[in-house]
Amino acid sequence: MTDSSSSQHNPQEHQTNQVSQNNSAIPLTSLLQQYFGFSHFRPGQEQTITQLLNRQSSLAIFPTGSGKSLCYQLTALQLPHLTLVVSPLLALIKDQLAFLEKKGIKAASIDSTLKGREAQEVMTSVRDGSIKVLMVSVERFKNERFRQFIESVPVSMLVVDEAHCISEWGHNFRPDYLKLPSYCKALNIPLVLLLTATATKKVKLDMANKFAIQPEHIVQTGFYRANLDLSVVSVSSAQKNNKLEQLVKSQQGAGIVYVTLQHSAEVVAQYLQQQGVNACAYHAGFDSDTRAQIQQDFMSGNIQVIVATIAFGMGIDKSDIRFVIHYDLPKSIENYSQEIGRAGRDGHLSHCITLANLDGLNTVENFVYGDTPELSSIETVINSIKAETSSSSDTGKWELQLLPLSNSSNIKQLPLKTLLVQLELCGVIEPLYAYFADFKIKLLQPQQAILDLFNQQRQAFLIKIFQAIDFKKVWGSLNFDNLLQDKSIERNRVISALEYLQEQQLIILETKGMTEVFNVDLHALTKPSLTQQLSDYFKDKEEKEIKRIAALIRFFELDTCLSINLSRYFDDNIFDNNQVNSKGCGHCSVCRGQIAKLYYSQDKKPWPSDDTLIASIKEFTLCLAGKTDKPLELSSYCRFIAGISEPLFARTQVKKLSGFALCEQQRYSDICTKIRPILRLSHK
């Protein structure tokens, strides 16, 4: 069971047993050979494809690099209409498109990198059926122009890549993913395929439940990989670079070193270079050309070692990565397993080494605390909905632009999105549609020349549109409010007309200022317990995240086989079924008798004196004087001292003050305890 493209799968991976006969005329293996050039399916693929062709929505859980994508790619060829693939990362999309192109399968994406005309070409090809696979990000669904388009073409199957993002129990929960089931219903898509590499039992059932996938249609291949040698090495921060250098020099072949911060990626890469290692930094702070170049150099072997933040890896399909080293603590067991999963996809022995101590623990935890909104911030959001729904002429409608609300409520954008999804799930708000507040138009021909191309009736319509455009020198902005006062004009028709003009290269159209419109249930909105209920939700979430970090530390300190524990965590019971030695894998540091004990290796910076703290707080208060509508919260002071960012800080010079991050090494809860009495004192 090998395929020519990448890897031999691991011989101990258990086989999915029963596969019912598919009902298409051509055997699946012939299609596999014909389109992809592979002679055999890898575990789980055939069962998944067969289910899909029998119109059974499915969930496929395969380890990274074991051919998940092929399940939808081959199926899409056999389905009558479009296959719509939702993927969280542009890099993943580009990678899969390149693969499909190589195989001669027409696929495309609609994303922010496309120019107006290119997007138009894609839409035309989807409409005439020449494109069978369309890939988009989940955010694309908010785009009014995209929704209008996708509602007008028949879709055979929805594929959700990295589907664990849909589960709130998952490690990578993306609030927008929660809306996918309702999009699926609204678009009448009859078939769904969810794909993921990492899912605990809870996450698995949660995902299946949200799309009404039957338990028997969950296809899971083994998680355990016998060719990965796992080690946890307890090391002090002072010794880390030395240890890293030693390890890297003792390894053959390509490797990835993972760090938490962009800054560390550069510092560590530079250190390795100075020691004569062919290493290079990679993080999201580099521009896309630089990142692409580094990726390419790594793929081709020109760079041996990449020192990267977690931005690196998704969509990298290099089968011979010989080692993955965690220089800093990963974010969770799920992240850890995803990151080590990039090693040894060719089935050959590869080393996964974690250099661990507890020095960075507070930093990791403080990231979590920074994301929990304050009760008063949640109240601000609720009040702003109340104010707008009662004052607007359109009662019960609420219009949202994310950034201004994030600023006024002092809630970061990601938690704010989570809050909105929670309001949706409580039945307080219901999304109606989204539109762009700003339509900018540039004429490529004189106005009259454009009008002359159309018949009288259309001309009359276009004249009304043109009259509503306020032209400056080159660009004009469309005033929808004025235009739509004429009740005979519908917004959709205006957009279609502008799209058409753009398609004909008569104008250039640019849209921005995404505005989401919600229906508001005023009764649910005024429920007295609402704010508290939402706040409890976030506290609960915070607690879960902190526990996730604790679970990770416990995992690294285990005194029983790491491979067994990791497999069980992801609901693979291969060791319990006596398929392999149930006593231990024989290729992890614990099986070799080295149990790691993690410790704080650096003396924490002592607390600054109360006088210093009082001075910092005064400086902070002064800096924000007159810049907020309401009094500062205890949490804002604590975040400032802890060096955790919040929207309020971004608009001011707060981060440049000497007190910012003054106590970043301390635990957040200790900082709160310390600041509370000082605050009372300094206010006297």
Which H or E element spans position 160?
A: strand 155-160
Shortest distance, CB of residue 579 to Zn ion, whole angstroms? Answer: 15
How far is residue 197's CA from residue 334's CA, in Å, rounded to a whole number? 10
Q: How many angstroms separate the first and last alpha carbons of the chain? A: 76
Give one DSSP letter per residue of 565-580, joined into a string. Answer: HHHHHTT--TTTTTSS
Shortest distance, CB of residue 48 to Zn ion, whole angstroms? Answer: 30
| ∠ Cα 364 368 370 (to 5°) | 110
Q: Which is nearer to Zn ion, 60 or 230 (CB)?
A: 230
Q: Which is nearer to Zn ion, 59 or 562 (CB)?
A: 562
CB 357 within 8 A of CB 599: yes
Residue 669: how many CB atoms within 10 A of its CB? 12
Residue 45: how many CB atoms within 10 A of its CB? 25
Shortest distance, CB of residue 562 to Zn ion, whole angstroms? Answer: 5
Cα torsion 165, 211, 130, 101: sign: positive
Please report where in the chains the tokens 């007190």 appear, as a residue. Answer: 659
Residue 648: how many CB atoms within 10 A of its CB? 22
Shortest distance, CB of residue 230 to Zn ion, whole angstroms? Answer: 7
Q: Check residue 234 and report its DSSP letter.
A: E
Shortest distance, CB of residue 522 to Zn ion, whole angstroms? Answer: 58
Q: Which is nearer to Zn ion, 289 or 559 (CB)?
A: 559
Question: Which of 567, 470, 611, 504 is CA-nearest to residue 63?
Answer: 567
The burial class, CB within 10 Å (0-12 / 13-18 / 19+), for 128 is exposed
Q: Which is nearer to Zn ion, 157 or 591 (CB)?
A: 591
Shortest distance, CB of residue 595 to Zn ion, whole angstroms? Answer: 11
Shortest distance, CB of residue 584 to Zn ion, whole angstroms? Answer: 4
Q: Which is nearer to Zn ion, 559 or 611 (CB)?
A: 559
Strands (E), 479-600: 507-520
Task: Determine the 3-state secondary structure of 436 from DSSP.
Answer: strand
Shortest distance, CB of residue 558 to Zn ion, whole angstroms? Answer: 10
Tokens of 377: 């911030």
Shortest distance, CB of residue 587 to Zn ion, whole angstroms? Answer: 6
Q: Which is nearer to Zn ion, 174 or 587 (CB)?
A: 587
Shortest distance, CB of residue 589 to Zn ion, whole angstroms? Answer: 8
CB 193 within 8 A of CB 48: yes
Shortest distance, CB of residue 250 to Zn ion, whole angstroms? Answer: 21
Q: Which is nearer to Zn ion, 189 or 588 (CB)?
A: 588
Q: Which is nearer to Zn ion, 92 or 564 (CB)?
A: 564
Give the pairing type, strands 107-109 and 133-136.
parallel
Shortest distance, CB of residue 592 to Zn ion, whole angstroms? Answer: 8
How far is residue 547's CA from residue 331's CA, in Å, rounded to a whole number? 11
Q: What are phi and psi of 46, to 5 degrees?
A: -65, -40
How far is residue 164's CA from residue 280's CA, in Å, rounded to a whole number? 31
Shortest distance, CB of residue 225 to Zn ion, whole angstroms? Answer: 12
Backbone dihedral region for residue 657 (phi beyond 0: left; psi -120 to 50: alpha; all else: beta) = beta
Instruction: Please tell me the chain's helix, strand, coil percentages from 3-state DSSP, rounded to the nearest 5.
Output: 45, 15, 40
Q: Which is nearer to Zn ion, 181 or 584 (CB)?
A: 584
Q: Which is nearer to Zn ion, 209 or 581 (CB)?
A: 581
Q: Which is nearer to Zn ion, 97 or 595 (CB)?
A: 595
Q: Which is nearer to Zn ion, 178 or 562 (CB)?
A: 562
Task: Determine the 3-state secondary structure of 319 from DSSP.
Answer: coil
Shortest distance, CB of residue 323 to Zn ion, whole angstroms? Answer: 18
CB 374 within 8 A of CB 633: yes
Q: Which is nearer to Zn ion, 224 or 439 (CB)?
A: 224
Tokens of 243: 């240890």
The burial class, CB within 10 Å (0-12 / 13-18 / 19+), for 27 is exposed
The length of the chain is 684
Q: How many CA atoms lie within 13 A of 290 on its CB side?
A: 8
Provide CB contacts within 8 A for 577, sequence distance 6+: none
How far is it between the farthest Cα atoms of the chain? 86
Shortest distance, CB of residue 560 to Zn ion, whole angstroms? Answer: 8
Q: Which is nearer to Zn ion, 160 or 340 (CB)?
A: 340
| ∠ Cα 676 677 682 (to 5°) | 100
CB 563 within 8 A of CB 587: yes
For residue 232, list its beta bridge partners: 354
Q: Which is nearer to Zn ion, 482 or 594 (CB)?
A: 594
Task: Determine the 3-state secondary structure of 325 from DSSP.
Answer: strand
Q: Which is nearer to Zn ion, 226 or 561 (CB)?
A: 561
How far is residue 103's CA from residue 99's CA, in Å, rounded to a whole number? 7
Q: List residues near Zn ion by CB under 5 A.
A: 561, 563, 584-585, 588, 591
Shortest distance, CB of residue 590 to Zn ion, whole angstroms? Answer: 6
